[in-house]
Chain A
Amino acid sequence: MLKTIIIKELQNNLYSLRFHISFLLCIVIFAVGTIAFLKNQDAKMQEYSKYRAEFRNELKETAESNAGKLAVNKRAFIWRPRANAFISDCKEKYFPNRFIYSAYNVYGFEVGPGGTNPFLSTFQDLNWSFIVSVVLSFTVLLFTFDTISGEKETGALGLTLSNSIPRATVLLGKYVSAIITTMVMAIFGIVLSILIVLFSRKVDFTSAMLMETLAFMLLVFLFLSCTAAIGTFSSVIAHKSNVSLLISLTFWLVFVVIIPNTAIFWANKIFSIEHSDVIGRKIYAALEEHRRSAPPGSASSSDANPFMPEHKLRADLETKLNDAEISIKNAYYQDMFRQLERTRLVTLISPIALFDYMDEAVVGGGYARFKKVWADLHGYQVQFLQFFKAMDAADPDSPHWYNPWGDYSTTKKPVAFEQVPLFDEKPLSLAARFSFLRNYLVVMVFYIAAVFSLTFVLFLRYDVR
């Protein structure tokens, strides 16, 4: 019986105007979005390789003139434009886009200029994730808002239930068919998008991307099940289809517009962290304290004589200053991570936000990628420092007084650029992705179960007359 209902509903849906309009809209945006992505990615990669070449040149020049400078100079790591961003860009252009490091420390992350054109209003890329979370979530609501209330108005619901069909079957049939209908659109769009990518040959569609696509489809299925449940829920709490439409639109507005866009407010109200200027003052006070207690001569330096005794004092003082600054900053960064993670928890009420976070794990982007780079860069820095110390140890002209801020009392010999370890970003491992995804997945399944069972209970009591 369930099968009959699903087939009947599917036929109804597929022949309906809403299907035609949304299918057209969906396919067009998928195509336009992918084409625009490919053009954009091409330009971005050109700029990025130019940047990398300049970066390596500069590094090479420094390495071949003075290894001390190579260790001390602060550099920024900028992540490469992700090739699978047509699935989801995870709003990476708004994330901190430069990680500052030297051989001695990873100093922090910044939102520098150059992430995106500041004169453009904030926007989302037209990638799969956007289309699913905005267009398809809207479409699935349009397919579900009148499943019950609409049939009640036309009297069809009463007729259907006068047969010996359990209500559960009716509800499930309608629910499943709405999901299938929108999944059809999603699959068509995704396949079209992949075809465009394959034919353009600007981006390699790797086997990893294929896996990501499959995982993404699974997420889309879960997400659409969730929004369909919300649509059906709106349908059983009202007796008129126009009222249930308004209710489902309200839900949609709250989930798409209100909750994600007011997250900063919640972050600052509920999970506030100390202001950056307060931290700045704290650092200043700590540094001043060290400077005051430093023995005289700690600020002296001579470029000509590395063995000048004051250089030892200077190295000691500047190591202390550096450590003090880093320890305050690192604690602050931990606060920032916590604040973001907790704020994300609050926004989980919105399935759209939930879907966005799950995407990050699937494509290995956004915050998941950020944390990975942050951790890896720390590992690299340790390796870089070891390399430098080994080099320094071999130099008889160096007193080996390590100073994170200057090359006065360490080796100033050149080093072959080929030997210098370089940082390269590695993609997230499967295990890391799954552990990032796991909790969100549990919430999503729970969400669907809760909304659908609530809908079911309400439908059991629904007055079909």
Chain B
Amino acid sequence: MLWKIAKKEFLLNLVSARFVIGFLLCLFLIPFTVMVNIDDYDSRMRVYRVDKANAENSFKYVRVYSYLRPEVVKPPEPLGIFCRGISGNVGSRVKIWLGEKPLFATGKAAIHDNPLLNSFFSIDFIDIIAIVMSLLALIFTYDACTREKEEGTLKLQLSNSLSRHKILLGKVLGVYLTILPIVLFCYILSTILILHSPNISFSAGDWGRIILLFFLSLLYFTVFIFIGLLISTRLKSSITSIIVCLFFWVFFVFIVPNLAVYMAESLKKVQSYDNLQYGLQDLNKEFQNKCDEYYKKLETPDWGMNWNHTWDTDGRRILAGCTKSKMEHWRKKFVFSEPLRVDYADKKWNLQKAYLDSLDQQRNFAEMISLISPSEMFRLVCASLCRTDVASHYRFMDRVRRYRDELIDFLRDRNIFSSFIYFTPQPQETFMSADEIVRIRTGGEFNTLQEYNQWAKAHNWSLAPLRKVDITGTTFGEYPFLDLSDVPVFRGKSENLLAGLKQVFLKKVAGLIIVSVIFFYLSFLSFLRYDVR
């Protein structure tokens, strides 16, 4: 008898306008969204390739260790086509500095090229499922009891020896049978589109996750079926029922997500990023003062001239062609400054960590509020499944920070901070004294630095006489790049099927199941007492 009711419901639904419109809506929206997201993935992939090439170059074309600042580039997540999560907000590139631990990834704007486009939001497959499937579930169930009551068929049915729970179950089954093909169709269609796209390849684990996504969609759908059923059993007319259902839908799907984040923003305070930067700048100044103090104690070199000299932030410096004592002077500076720089990175991290924690608290708070909406619960679980959630990002950043430690350990173990190769490609035995350099460069015009200085003083410190004869080995281009084969490289760990999912399943999926059971139980109770007249 149960099956008969289910079949009747199914057939009735199948010929209804709502089925046709719902199906058409999916037929139009799903391929379109999947295409938009495949396109987005392709452009992320393009950006990734460019970034990757740049990162490899920055690792390859290095002549001194002070310029070794590797960049970690995270490949785009193929499952992000289904659910983008926060992948659009956080970047994918992390540069490893000595003076600062990685706080955020950069490069998020590169995906659009035009940062002004950030004012447009984007939508993914899971959003569509969350919006359309919940709508369909409500549209198929809002009149489950009210319509039959209005038509009088409910009374007739119950006058037979048919238990109420069978009718309710039959209706649920009927709706399930109607929607199942639509959900299945959505997934198959998007899978076909993805398979046709040349850039995307999923691992076996990824396919497993897609299947989990499918079952999760069914669970999500179930929750809304029971919400619709409950509303239908509590109200007497179909039109009231649909209005109530739709308001619940708008509330859960459109208002709660914005409400939750907005409330979190105003209730959980976060220091502004720029003020954090001012805090860090103070530490930078402190570091610089300590260095300057130490530098004062050093012996002054015989000649301050740096023949070829390029420098940049974070202690990057490359020199060639200065005097032996100047080189030694620089070496002593680095012996002091670089370990101190690393120590200061740890000090800065205290501030940064506090900032990160406050951001995380804000997010946590938003997540807590958003859990009143099943669709937000569903989105969060999907983001974890697609590895685009916050936890996945944290795991990545943790790995990057560990990699930085590894790199610093490597530099320390090899005593690179205290060796000349940290800042000059020039071999130690080719360093010259000031007089030697002056004699060779001026072609014998001046024999000592003192002679040149006397002349230069009267000639506005012109360097022209020093350009007469070149000394080989004083330009950077004459030296090969460093052999960095023994330097540790960042390895992205591949995650197994269920990595990072235990917590999510324990909390949120269990939450979804409990919510659906409660709604079912309530609608069941309500239907038992339903006045069918």
**Could you tell me which A residues sit within 8 Å of B by CB distance?**
17-18, 21-22, 25, 29, 32-33, 36-37, 39-40, 43-44, 47-48, 50-51, 54, 58, 78, 90-91, 94-96, 109-114, 116-126, 130, 134-135, 138, 142, 146, 150, 240-243, 245-247, 249-250, 253, 256-258, 260-265, 267-269, 273-277, 296-297, 300, 302, 304-305, 307-310, 335-337, 339-340, 343, 347, 366-367, 370
Contacts and interface: CB of A to CB of B under 8 A. Distances in A.
Contact of B262 (A33, A111, A268): A33
4 A-B pairs with least C-beta separation: A114-B273, A40-B266, A261-B123, A47-B272
B75 interface: no
Given A94-B118, A122-B88, A25 B135 contact: no
A7 to B, nearest CB: 22
A302 B119 CA distance: 46
Would you call the interface of chain A mostly helix, strand, loop, or mixed? Answer: helix
A96 B359 contact: no
Contacts of A243: 17, 21
B460 A309 contact: yes
B89 A118 contact: yes
A21 B463 CA distance: 84
Given A111-B109, A262-B36, A305-B461, A39 B21 contact: no
A65 B278 CA distance: 19
Given A114-B273, A242-B18, A243-B17, A21 B244 contact: yes
Given A121-B257, A262-B32, A339-B114, A111 B272 contact: no
Contact of A260 (B115, B120, B265, B366): B120
Contact of B115 (A90, A96, A296): A96
Contacts, number: 240
Nearest to B135: A249
Contacts of B467: 296-297
B292 interface: no
In this complex, which of A110, A114, A296, A300 has the most chain B Cβ atoms within 10 angstroms of its Cβ?
A114
A288 to B, nearest CB: 14
Interface residues of B, number: 84
Interface string B452-471: 00000000111110010000
Contacts of A258: 29, 32, 123
A81 to B, nearest CB: 10
B261 A121 contact: yes
A275 B462 contact: no
A257 B273 contact: no
A135 B278 contact: no
Interface of B: 17-18, 21-22, 25, 29, 32-33, 36, 39-40, 43, 46-47, 50, 85-86, 88-90, 104, 108-110, 112-123, 127, 131-132, 135, 139, 239-240, 242-244, 246-247, 250-251, 254-255, 257-259, 261-267, 269-275, 278, 359-360, 362-363, 366, 379, 390, 393, 460-464, 467
A192 B263 CA distance: 19
A118 B278 CA distance: 20
A140 B118 CA distance: 29
A135 B261 contact: no
Contacts of B132: 253
Given A123-B261, A261-B123, A51 B116 contact: no
B179 to A, nearest CB: 15
A296 B246 CA distance: 75
A120 B257 contact: no
Contacts of A121: 85-86, 89, 257, 261, 379
A122 B269 contact: no
Contacts of B88: 122
Contacts of B127: 257, 261
Nearest to B383: A121
Contact of B265 (A40, A150, A253): A40
Residue from A17, A146, A310, A367 having most chain B Cβ neighbours under 10 A: A17
26 contacts: A21-B247, A25-B255, A33-B262, A36-B266, A43-B269, A47-B271, A47-B272, A51-B274, A110-B109, A114-B272, A117-B359, A118-B108, A119-B363, A119-B390, A120-B264, A121-B257, A142-B243, A240-B17, A241-B239, A242-B242, A256-B254, A262-B33, A267-B112, A273-B114, A296-B467, A370-B116
Contact of B119 (A39, A94, A307, A337): A94
Contact of A119 (B89, B114, B251, B258): B89
A300 B463 CA distance: 9
A19 to B, nearest CB: 10
Contact of B255 (A29, A44, A117): A29
Contacts of B261: 120-121, 123
A125 B86 CA distance: 18
B381 to A, nearest CB: 14
A336 B116 contact: yes
**Which of B43, B46, B266, B275 counts the most chain A CB atoms within 10 A?**
B266
Given A25-B247, A310-B463, A265 B117 contact: no
Q: By CB atoms of chain B within 10 A, which of A109, A264, A268 has the most?
A: A264
B115 A110 contact: yes
Given A142-B246, A277-B50, A119 B40 contact: no
Contacts of B390: 119
A95 B118 contact: yes
A263 B36 CA distance: 10
Nearest to B281: A58
A43 B123 CA distance: 31
A297 B467 CA distance: 9
Nearest to B120: A263
Contacts of A134: 250, 254-255
B18 to A, nearest CB: 6
B275 A47 contact: yes
Contact of B123 (A21, A112, A117, A262): A262
Contact of A39 (B47, B266, B275): B266
A257 B123 CA distance: 8
A146 B275 CA distance: 55
B250 A138 contact: yes
Given A118-B86, A119-B359, A262-B123, A336 B108 contact: no
